[in-house]
Structure 1
Amino acid sequence: MNLLEDTWFNNPAIQKAMWPALLETLQMVGISGLATLVLGLPLGVLLYTTAPGGMSANRPLNVVLSTVIVNVTRSFPYAILMIALMPLTVILVGTKIGPVAASVSLAIAAIPFFARLVETALREVHSGKLDAAHAMGSTKFQTIVKVLLPEALPTLVASFTTTVVTIVGYSAMAGLIGGGGLGRLAYNYGFQRYQIDVMIMTVVLLVLLVQLIQFAGDRLSKAIDHR
């Protein structure tokens, strides 16, 4: 028996399926990453500004945001969260399978994670710069937009890079229950059909994708860091 029979190396069907799977993974990461940035950044700013001693200290709101929204959501293992959110996913996108549907659970899992990283990054900004902005008559919104976020930008970029890398890992799990992408390909061929070569190829592609994202994020963070 030929050991290379029906493997990735000599099966055009499997080779052809690899690239659409990669595009589905990129689609999931792109949609959920954008949603995470748009929603997670303001949430992180709110966590920072409403904390005790913050610019708009509001303990009840901060407790709700920090404990109920961020901590509780982060406590769910992603596989369980993904299944629990299926009804919501159907309401939002009309289906519970496919990369767009998987993006819903990916975003909800990543948003509180990124928000917490944003809060930590903002805490690193020296309070003296914020005091100087207030002394010059800046409003709270102006201080946040023109001082706080620019000063924390290199760390914010690094935090978003970490979040996107995490989303890539989650996207592989999403493939196990119909999310598509490289995770589904690895499960259908690599696990169920015992084709180790397909599993290896999907792992290689995921590693390369993570390395590319990390490299781009590190370069961008260094480029904008003028401290």
Structure 2
Amino acid sequence: MNNSGKYFENVDWIMMWDATKDTVYMTAISVLVTFILGTFLGLLLFLTTKGNLWENKPINTIISGIVNIFRSIPFIILIVLLIPFTTFLLGTMIGEDAALPALIIGAAPFYARMVEIGLREINKGVIEAAKSMGATTSTIIWKVLLPESMPALISGITVTAIALVGYTAMAGAIGAGGLGNLAYNYGFQRNQNDVTFVATVIILIIVFIIQLIGDFITSKLDKR
């Protein structure tokens, strides 16, 4: 290990930088896919409820059930349950890419509910006005629902992204890489508290940056 002073003598800063990049990579990819998949699921949940454009109770019940099941499974258990699927998909359960299926499947249902809540807050009169002017369903989705709910969607994905940073740390503890892996294997198991401390501080910095970006975008989009 590189000696970086008496306070952080066990910290290998090159390894710490690589772990930081791995955590940012896992978070960025999973947030992007979660935003797309969660928005799609949230729209389906909203549109198939009673009185909405695609009212369909059986489909709504099925989607709602799937979302509730995967949203309720603790993430560490979900990782273990998905080991066969991840191994089949990627050929391995070790590394940053191997963490992505569990991260996305764990976060997308959570975000889908936030999307549904955001859509429900839209003034019904705006939707009815668009329908009365002959707008198609796709036009209502792209020109009314998504733009009107965008502040809530960005606020929701910010919360989800912060949760995903925590998920990457848990995934790292079982071989996914990143700061969680470093903190567990080199900090906890080797009793090197300075490694754990630095990894924790970097995770907190990542969380603060995500929150600042999310708050900034939300404030710019919010017309109220």
TM-score (norm 1): 0.94
Residues 195-206 of structure 1 correspond to what in structure 2 (within 5 A)? 195-206=192-203
CA contact (8 A) 1:7 1:195 kept: no
Could you tell me which runs of 5 or more consecutive residues in structure 1 were left unpaired when the two chains were aligned. none
Where structure 2 has 5 or more consecutive residues not aligned to the other structure, the ranges are: none
- In the TM superposition, structure 1's runs of 4+ consecutive aligned residues that sit over 4 Å from their partners are 4-8
Does the aligned pair in 2 maintain the 1:8–1:15 contact within 8 Å? no
1:10 to partner: Cα distance: 3.0
SS of the counterpart of 1:178?
helix
* Alpha-carbon distance in 2 for matches of 1:16, 1:132: 58
Deviations 1:70-128 (A, max 9, x none): 00111111000001101111122221110000011000000100101000000000000
In the alignment, is the contact (CA less than 8 A) between 2:10 and 2:194 conserved in 1? no
**TM-score normalised by the chain length of structure 2:** 0.95
Match of 1:58 among 48, 53, 56: 56
Tell me if structure 2 keeps the 8 A contact 1:9–1:15: no
Q: 1:15: which partner in 2?
A: 13
Give the distance between the partners of 1:79 and 1:191, measured in 2 at CA.
18
Partner of residue 26, structure 1: 24
Question: How far apart in 1 are the matches of 2:126 and 2:68?
Answer: 30
Partner of 2:102: 105
Count of residue pairs brought into register by the alignment: 222
Matching of residue 37 in structure 1 with residue 35 in structure 2: yes
Equivalent residue, structure 1, for 2:218? 221
CA distance in structure 2 between the partners assigned to 1:108 and 1:100 by the alignment: 14
CA drift at 1:141: 1.4
Q: Does the aligned pair in 2 maintain the 1:165–1:213 contact within 8 Å?
A: yes
Residue 152 of structure 2 is aligned with which of 140, 151, 155? Answer: 155
The structure-2 alpha-carbon separation of the partners of 1:193 and 1:5, relative to structure 1 and needing over 3 Å to count, comes to farther
Shift in Å, 1:5: 9.9
- Distance in 1 of aligned mates of 2:7 and 2:32: 33
Who is 2:114 aligned against?
Answer: 117
Return the alpha-carbon distance in structure 2 between the equivalents of residues 7 and 88 of structure 1. 45
Q: Post-superposition shift, 1:6?
A: 9.3
Name the Cα RMSD after superposition: 1.6
Given the alignment of the two structures, is residue 146 of structure 1 paired with residue 146 of structure 2, yes or no? Answer: no
The separation in 2 between residues aligned to 1:23 and 1:71, in whole angstroms, is 32
**Matched-pair identity in %:** 46
Q: Counterpart amino acid of 2:41?
A: L
- The alpha-carbon deviation at position 11 of structure 1 amounts to 4.5
